Structure 1
Amino acid sequence: PLLMEDLEAEAFLADKAYDTNELLDMLKEADITAVIPPVKSRKEQRAYSHELYRARHVIKIVFDALKHWRGIATRYAKLTVSFIAAIHVRCLFLYLPVHTT
């Protein structure tokens, strides 16, 4: 709940582990669309955007790739600016095609 305070977003993407009534109520109160597949044990299965949920996979892959870069995973940078710059550089390497000859 503390992380949800003052959250500004159009949608909240999460997996089934986050399918709780408390979180869904908080998102509804904040007027944020919940893109969370319902657990099978729910009596009433909620509808959610399957297309938007697929975007979660791309986000997860990017975070996984960032964690595998040692400089980011161990936070070598002393300054926040340097740390953010390292993330930007790594994202460029992930985004741009690299051709080796």
Structure 2
Amino acid sequence: MQPRYFDKLFYKARHLVEELFAKMKRYRAIATCYDKLASHFLSTIYLVSCVA
């Protein structure tokens, strides 16, 4: 049985994205979705992704 092929660069990028989401969840406004408008929620995500 041969081991499955995996793309090392793909998994490295995936890990970075998952870690960014984990950092964003630390912020209460994102974890609880307090913003009622989608545009406000998206702007909060932009702000936190710049800080994180």
TM-score range, shorter chain: 0.7 to 0.9
Take 1:51 and 1:81, find their aligned partners in 2: how far apart are those partners? 32
Q: Name the structure where strand makes up a greater proportion of residues.
A: 1
Q: Name the structure where helix makes up a greater proportion of residues.
A: 2
- Segments of 5+ residues of structure 2 without an aligned counterpart are none
Take 2:9 and 2:50, find their aligned partners in 1: how far apart are those partners? 25
Bigger Cα Rg: 1
Q: Which has the higher contact order (CA 8 A, sep 6+)?
A: 2
Quote the residue 2:41 is aligned against: 83
RMSD: 1.2
Matched, 1:47 2:12: no
How high is the TM-score relative to the length of structure 1? Answer: 0.47
Q: Percent identity?
A: 31
- Segments of 5+ residues of structure 1 without an aligned counterpart are 1-42, 95-101
Quote the residue 1:23 is aligned against: none
